[in-house]
Amino acid sequence: MNTSAAAIKFGKFEGTLEDTSCPLGDSRKPKLIFMSKEGIGYFKCDVCNIMYASPRFTEASMMKIYETEAFADFSDFEDWSYEKWLSGGDRTYITQRQKVMLVKRFLSDGSRLLDVGCGLGWFVLEAGKSGYSCEGVEPSEMLSRVASDNLGVKVSTVEIDDFSPDHKFDGILIWDVLEHLYDPVGVLKRCVELLEPGGYLFAQVPNHKGISNTYKTVLSRLGLRKHFKHFGFPWHVYSFDKVSLSAMMRAVGLEPVFFESWANLLKAGRRDIISKLIIEMYKKLCISDYIVCVARKA
């Protein structure tokens, strides 16, 4: 992997670049989807369908931004209480409830859960309120401190590779995380090690086959859209679909058992008939810009 010695700017962010390739190690020539004016290429592996950015900022460069207050919104914690969060119809609460309901399809109450990259700890809190024994790991000291101090949840400030609990887990959640990771396959392997036999991994990642993402990609390739902002670079370094998620899960010893995707209408709490029809269509066809995967350890 080649690394640029000089720091460059991408928007307001500055860091050092490095070249990369398919995380599953395929050696074939990837397909260039789009080249930005900044010289960032967006490639798709013709074998596994993973989309990735190259060059990308180095992991050391990116970790700096995850420790700045600009990365997260802490305004929710001004006069915050669980009761207000529960009754306020907040999008963050609705999303956590949907995640808990997904887990309940596969794991009974009392199961032991781990949230990898738990951020501010919202899921850890709601899963605990819903009958699960849940804890989190979060490498950002800033985020894990807020989760511990404000939500009162159990969070270990550590990379998953350095996390050594004295027990294994029935379920592991890794939500909106894999697209940020510099070694998603290695992290998934560690998750598998921490799972009980027959345990489940629950993941959500960007879906480059989503309707909006597909439309914006076409516009970019036709020259009608100057940027490739929908990919989420520099924070996002990968994007996936059902094929690439399945390939990655099987590469680490997990078998995909369930896919769906959640429309923004679902996360907004819309309950009218038309919204429900759209929500169900998005779920079944996996056409939202994020895709959910559940995979089982043999």
Tell me the one-letter amino acid at 196.
Answer: E
Backbone angles phi, psi at 203, to 5 degrees: -135, 145
27 pLDDT tier (thresholds 50, 70, 90):
low
1 pLDDT tier (thresholds 50, 70, 90):
low
pLDDT at position 135 is 98
pLDDT at position 70 is 60
Surface-to-core class of residue 69, CB atoms within 10 Å of its CB (0-12 exposed, 13-18 middle, 19+ buried): exposed
Instruction: Please provide the average confidence, as pLDDT, over all residues in the chain.
Output: 92
Q: What does the alpha-carbon distance between residue 251 and residue 185 come to, in Å, rounded to a whole number?
A: 8
Q: What does the alpha-carbon distance between residue 144 and residue 116 come to, in Å, rounded to a whole number?
A: 12
C-alpha 232: how far from chain center: 12
Query: Residue range 72-91: average pLDDT?
Result: 82
20 pLDDT tier (thresholds 50, 70, 90):
very high
pLDDT over 60 at 4, yes or no: no
Share of the chain above pLDDT 90, in %: 78
Q: What does the alpha-carbon distance between residue 201 and residue 172 come to, in Å, rounded to a whole number?
A: 5
pLDDT tens-digit series, residues 126-177: 999 999 999 999 998 889 998 999 899 999 999 999 999 999 999 999 999 9
pLDDT at position 64 is 75
- pTM comes to 0.94
pLDDT at position 15 is 87
pLDDT over 70 at 72, yes or no: no
pLDDT over 80 at 65, yes or no: no
Query: Residue range 64-75: average pLDDT?
Result: 67
Short-list 177, 204, 171, 178, CA closest to 95: 204
Give yes or no for a contact between 287 and 252, defined as CB atoms under 8 angstroms apart: no
5 pLDDT tier (thresholds 50, 70, 90):
low
The C-alpha angle 110, 203, 128, rounded to 5 degrees, equals 25
264 pLDDT tier (thresholds 50, 70, 90):
very high
pLDDT over 70 at 66, yes or no: no
Q: Which residues contact 211 (CB under 8 A, 6 or more apart)?
A: 287, 288, 289
